[in-house]
Structure 1
Amino acid sequence: MTRSSAREIAMHIIFSLGFDDRSAQEVLDAELNRERFQELAEELPLYEQFPNEKQERYIRELVQGVFSHGPELDDCISRYSVGWAFARIPRMAAAVMRTAMYEVLYMPDIPNAAAINEAVEIAKKYEPVEVVSFVNGILGTFVRTEFEDTPPKPEKTADPSKQEEA
């Protein structure tokens, strides 16, 4: 299993946190076990391989971290989603952004660009292109604003052949 797959599994679990009153630990206990993976593997290839010890620690840290920092992460999403009420944001998109923001803020071993790129790739699997663009914009603005040393977004050129060579 790759880290990308582990991240996607964590996002599935984070997504499910809002459906009832269970704690992160209760949801992890129910979802992060071999029996549950066997059930899910029948429909989702993502669950065909159970995470190794390192990947399981990573999933648990993400889920528990997002759960415990939920209000802070939701506030960040709200602050950067100008013109959108948080309640209008699709639940999977919110889970994707919470996860990426948690990684940026609390997991310094994960480069900010990797957290954003992975989040956008996962969002592409579950959301329409407009929502993916929204997620990318929110995360990019969040990182550029909160971390001033982040290089600015490169300007797009209409015709790539007209770009100057470096």
Structure 2
Amino acid sequence: MKRREAREKALQALFQIELNEMSLDQAIKNIMEDEQDDYMEKLVEGVMANKAEIDAIIEPNLDNWRMDRLSKVDLSLLRLSVYEINYLDDVPNRVSLNESIEIAKIYSDEKSSKFINGVLANIAPEDK
């Protein structure tokens, strides 16, 4: 599985966890069915293990928004991206940013992709 697909599946799992208060293992199982992808699982597990820290990074960068007002898709995507940016050294920040914007265009709308771009641009240093 390519990383883009792993990110999309991780987003879907995080969305299920957020929306349905589903367990991490159950969400991964629902999304992956009989497949397995280490990167996807690493993303979901990493976001959930560091959720409080990730949220503390996101919240001050929301510019007149509150976490509880964000759509579950946008919140899940922001968490996923912040995890990649802050916890994974093998993913350049610009790659994570671009991937997030493109995924937002698929799973959310144009306004959301611009919003996510703005939030992540404040969080991610240019080079990593």
1:12 matched to 2:22? The reply is no
Partner residue of 1:25? 25
Note if contact 1:74-1:98 (Cα within 8 Å) is conserved in structure 2. yes
Greater Rg, structure 1 or structure 2? 1
SS where residue 22 of structure 2 aligns? coil
Separation in 1, partners of 2:42, 2:111: 30
> Which of the two has greater helix per residue?
2
Query: What TM-score does the superposition give when structure 1 sets the normalisation length?
Result: 0.71
Alignment partner of 1:133 out of 97, 114, 117? 114
**Higher RCO structure (Cα 8 Å, ≥6 apart):** 2
Residue in 2 that maps onto 1:98: 79
Specify every segment of 5 or more residues in structure 1 that has no aligned partner in the other structure, as ranges: 35-49, 145-149, 152-166
AA at the equivalent of 1:5: E
1:65-93 C-alpha deviation (Å, 9 max, x unpaired): 11111111122211100200111111111
| Structure 1 residues 29 and 126, CA gap change in structure 2 (3 angstroms) | closer
Cα distance in structure 2, aligned partners of 1:21 and 1:91: 12
Q: CA deviation at 1:27?
A: 2.1
Give me the CA root mean square deviation. 1.6
Indicate if the aligned counterparts of 1:25 and 1:64 stay in contact, CA closer than 8 A. no
State the Cα deviation string for residues 3-55 of structure 1 (Å, max 9, x = none). Answer: 11111111111111113343312322333222xxxxxxxxxxxxxxx45xxxx
Counterpart Cα distance in 2 of 1:66 and 1:4: 17
Contact 1:104 1:111 in 2 (8 A): yes
The alignment-based identity, stated in percent, is: 28
**Is the 8 Å Cα contact of residues 16 and 22 (structure 2) preserved in structure 1?**
no
Q: Distance in 1 between matches of 2:21 and 2:4?
A: 28
What is the TM-score normalised by the length of structure 2?
0.90
